[in-house]
Every structure is written in C-alpha cells, then in structure tokens.
Structure 1
Amino acid sequence: MSTTEQRVAVVTGAARGIGAATAVRLAAEGRAVAVIDLDEAACADTVARIAAAGGTALAVGCDVSDEAAVEAAVARIAGELGPPVVLVNNAGVLRDNLLFRMSAADWDTVMNVHLRGAFLMTRACQEHMVDAGFGRIVNLSSSSALGNRGQANYAAAKAGLQGLTKTLAKELGKFGVTANAVAPGFIATDMTAATAERVGMGFEEFKAAAATRIPVQRVGEPEDIANAIAFFTGDAAGFVSGQVLYVAGGPLD
C-alpha cells in the first residue's frame, strides 16, 4: 500500500469516551475511520465530529463478541471505506463486584467483550493488514490489569489483552504488522462516572480524590489516551511492537 493512500482505521467502542476521542484523533491524522459500537445510532455524534472537521467516517453497529457480526462488519468496512489496516480494540464493559458476589454471567460478559471481542476483530482485520504489508493493532488494557478490588473479571480480561498483544506482535511482525497495548489509569469517562455512582460518591468528588493519588495531580482525559494510541498507529512506530504503555500520570505501585 502506498503511504499516499488514505489508510482505514477501525475503532471499537467509539460512540463515546476514549473510543470517540481516538476516532476523532485518527481522523485528524488523515485516516478514514470506522466508528464501531453496539448501537450504530450511538455512533452518530462521533461521526458528526469527524465530518465537521473535514474527515471521513462510517458508523457501524456491531456486537464485537458475535463472530458473524464481526465478520459482516469488517466486510462492510472493507467494501465502503477500504481495507482496514489500523485497529484499535477499545470496546469494553464493567460488571464490577467482589468475587463472592460476582455472577458467572458478569464474568462471561466482561470476558466476551474485552477478550473475545479483541480476538474476533483482530482475526477479521489481520488478513487485510497482511495483504497490505502494513498493520497497526492497539489493544486497550488498563492499570486494573495489575489487580483491583472488585474487578476480578475486568482485571483478568485486561491482563489477558496484554498477553494477546505480545503474541500478536510475535506472529504478525514479519508481515509489517505491529501490536501494542495502552493501559490507562484513571480517565474521566462515563465508565468511571458509573464507578463513582456505584461507590456512592459524586463524580467531581471522586475525580478530586483520585487526583490526589496521581503524581501529576489530575485525572486523565480521553484525549490523553488517544495521543498514545495515535503514536502506536503511526508510520514512525514501526519498530515498537509487543509493548504495554501505562498512561496513568505517573508510575504505578
């Protein structure tokens, strides 16, 4: 693929939060972006932001844990935008609870969206990357991969994504494809707002308390993560693969 061609990027979970910020950032860098979320209509705001800035975007509704839906979505993207050679596996859900209260369904839901979803999306897109001789895969891990009370499912899934990332780097490197992971710390999103509500705190109070524990003395914004993802997806990052970058405002204990 010529570098003058507009590369196609796929961002899952891109209706809001980190996914939306990433889609907007990648579009600003000249990529055509497929904006994927469970509800296609929910992608409209992200697509509109990209279009208003002069970019190209396509809203795609897809349950990333559904094999047939993923295959159909990637085929549609390839047909309407072109072969997807940049993939950001960002789709995620929370089903937090202490282990003794956690249901098997809550465990399975988190595993299916985070891990199965990343596997299915990557498997569907890698053929296009290999054919192009260029590919960039970024998986969203989390600081919770190091262990976090009340998140046995989420922590296990996010740690699993790091193992997936390193394996993809080894398998696909010879085809010009890199795979890296970004592990956010505390980021102000709807997901962290839901966590605040779960523990009975106002979101502003919750963010302020979190900031006191972060060396840079603020919580992260979705754009902070989009910046890191943008680096990994660029041409200049071709010799960086199999890495996990914690974007958390400081070192994690």
Structure 2
Amino acid sequence: MTTKQRVLITGGANGIGAAIAQRSIQDGYEPVIIDRTGDGIIADLSNPDETEKALKTALAQGPITRLVNNVGIVRPASAETQTLDDLNLVLSLNLRCAMQCMQALVPSMKEAGFGRIVNISSRAALGKELRTAYAATKAGLIGMTRVWALELGKFGITSNAIGPGPIKTELFQKANPDDSPRTKAIINSIPVKRIGLPEDVAQAVSFMLSDKSGFVTGQTLYVCGGMTVGVSPL
C-alpha cells in the first residue's frame, strides 16, 4: 500500500465511525481505528496521554495521510445546569483530541505532499437547546477546520468538516424510538422526510477523503436532509 492509503478514524468502532470505516475499505483505504471498544487500537481518547500513546502505535505501522476526527460525546444539560466537569470532558474529547490527532499526522502528510483531514462537527454548531458544551465544541471544530485549511493548503493538505443532522445510530434510536411522537416530529421537520443513516455521512466523508477533492478545503458540509436551510448563512 502507498502512504496515501491509510486513514485514521477516531471513534470508528460504532455508529457513524463504523460506517466511515466500512466505506473507507470499499474505497481502497486501510482504516486505522482508535476507540474504547472494537478490534482496533484501544484507548480512551478523552485522556491526552492515552491519545498520544494510541497515535504512536498507529504511526509505528507507517505514515498516515488521511484523518477523520469522528469521536465525540454529548452531555445534554440546560445552560444553567451544564457543569464544568461536563464542559471539560466534552472539550477534551471533541476538540482537544482532534487537534492532537492532526498534529501527530501532519508530518506524514507534509512529507507525502498530500493530506486529507475531515472533522465530524454537527448541525448543533448552529445552536441547539440543551447543548451548551456540545455546540461550543462542534462550532470550535469548524473554526479549527478553517484555520487548518488556510495554514496547510500549500502542503497539499485539505481540511473540511461534516455537520450531520439527525442520524439513525443505536444511541439515536434508543432516545427516539421509530413510533414515538418525538421521532415523528423530527422527521416532519426534515425537508427530505426521513432520518439520516450513518452511510449518508460516510458518503460525504468519502468525497472529502478522495484524491479528487483537492480543490475543496475549509468547507462545512451539512448532511442533514435540508434542516439547516434557512438557519445557516450562505
């Protein structure tokens, strides 16, 4: 395999991350997964030291020139009750981890003259009730995406973000059963009238990781069935 064919996916054992890993295999890449569970490199990515150790393990097997910062956590709470412990955990996993992974992989990308960074943000970056910590980190991820695009473009490295809307993962279905009034209300609020699938997000990530996406950088693509129309700026 060439140095361009390995892709690191954080939180790739389940849900959206697993769909991205499966699509990466279909696209001819070798997925390198870091997660708390599964068959990949096992680590608690909310811990900087464990993250560093996992990244060294991944890079010991060879350079990696594609990165999907997918791992994340939600700590729902009202603005008045969101705790500092919640904030610190969400910041570490959703934001610090992404920067740490980028910094570890950029040397390989620069050496290859090629790199693809895809950050999994969220539609919640535009604002959502009970998401003070989560929305802050997902908006911060978009900000970092744009800075990295400006700084790294001259090295052949692109940096883009994906902002999923409601996606039918196991966690989503537990909170929103198919026949519940809440789920029906969510579907009615989506222009395409369905909940997204992990594969919908993986399809968007696939484009951003491809050789042919080299003229697209610093962008945020909302994979949300049209929910952001009328909310996000042009």
Provide TM-score, normalisation by structure 1. Answer: 0.85
In the aligned structure 2, how far is the partner of 1:24 from the partner of 1:70?
23
Higher helix content, 1 or 2: 1
% identity of equivalent residues? 40
Asked if the contact 1:137–1:233 (Cα under 8 Å) also holds between the matched residues in 2, the reply is yes
Deviation at 1:171, TM superposition (A): 0.9
- Pair 96,203 (structure 1): closer, same or farther in 2 beyond 3 Å: farther
Answer whether contact 1:65 1:120 (CA < 8 A) is retained. Answer: no
* Aligned-partner Cα distance in 2 for 1:229–1:181: 9
1:169 aligns with 2:169: no
- Which residue does 1:218 correspond to in 2? 194
Give 2:158's aligned residue. Answer: 178
Q: Partner residue of 2:70?
A: 90
Specify the SS of the correspondent of 1:101: coil
Residues 106-185 of structure 1 correspond to what in structure 2 (within 5 A)?
Answer: 106-185=86-165
Q: Which amino acid aligns with 2:18?
A: A
Separation in structure 1 between the aligned mates of residue 196 and residue 79 of structure 2, nearest angstrom: 28
Which digits, 9 at most, give the CA deviation of each residue in 1:15-52, with x for residues without a partner? Answer: 11100000110111111111111x2xx223xxxxxxxx
Given the superposition, is the C-alpha separation of residues 240 and 96 from structure 1 closer, same or farther in structure 2, using an over 3 Å criterion? Answer: same
Q: 1:235 is matched with which residue?
A: 211
Find the counterpart in structure 1 of residue 48 from structure 2. Answer: 67
User: Unaligned 5+ residue runs, structure 2?
Assistant: none
> Cα distance, 1:99 vs. partner?
1.4
What is the TM-score normalised by the length of structure 2? 0.92
Deviation at 1:210, TM superposition (A): 1.1
For 2:201, give the aligned amino acid: I
Consecutive unaligned residues in structure 1, runs of 5 or more:
45-58, 197-201
User: C-alpha deviations, 1:38-84, integer Å up to 9, x for none?
Assistant: x2xx223xxxxxxxxxxxxxx1112223333223222222222x211
Superposition RMSD in Å:
1.6
Contact 2:119 2:161 in 1 (8 A): yes
Residue 27 of structure 1: aligned partner: 25
Distance 1:5 1:121, change over 3 A: closer
Displacement of 1:100: 1.3
Q: For residue 188 of structure 1, report the CA deviation from its aligned partner.
A: 1.0
Q: How many residues align?
A: 228
Aligned with 1:84: secondary structure? coil
Deviations 1:97-138 (A, max 9, x none): 101121111111111100011111111111111111111000
- Residue 18 of structure 1 aligns with an amino acid whose one-letter code is I
Question: Does the CA contact (< 8 Å) of 1:92 and 1:110 recur in 2?
Answer: yes
Partner residue, 2:38: 43
